[in-house]
Amino acid sequence: MKQNDNTIVYQADDTIHPAIEVFRTNITNEQMANEVLERLAAIWPALKINFDLDDCDNILRVESLQGGIEVLEITQVVESFHHIIEILE
């Protein structure tokens, strides 16, 4: 992106790409997963967020169509429920 006077010009390399983060958690029941999802959705309504509790890592998947996911902040929200969360590598 280049700024020329008061005009912003977008170039091809400024394309925003969707972002996806996958986390491993210790959340094992649907009730707790729903509580966490409600809190995350309230803070980041534009994100697509879901759990896969059938996976052995109890996956939390976060997708942003606008790019950029606040990993630290998401981790802090989940930890505020006294759960473990880490990025799945």
Question: Would the CA dihedral through 22, 16, 38, 71 be positive or negative?
Answer: positive
What is the band of 65 on the pLDDT scale with cuts at 50, 70, 90? confident
Q: Which domains does the chain have, with CATH numbers?
A: 16-87 (3.30.70.100)
pLDDT > 90 in the chain, percent: 72
What's residue 66's pLDDT? 83
pLDDT tens per residue, range 13-56 = 555 567 999 999 999 999 999 999 999 999 999 999 999 999 99
Cα–Cα distance for residue pair 51/60, rounded to 1 Å: 4
Checking if the pLDDT of 8 tops 80, the result is no
Mean pLDDT of 50-69: 93
Query: Within the chain, how many helices (H) and strands (E) appear?
Result: 2, 6
> Which residues, 6 or more positions from 56, have their beta carbon under 8 angstroms from its beta carbon?
none
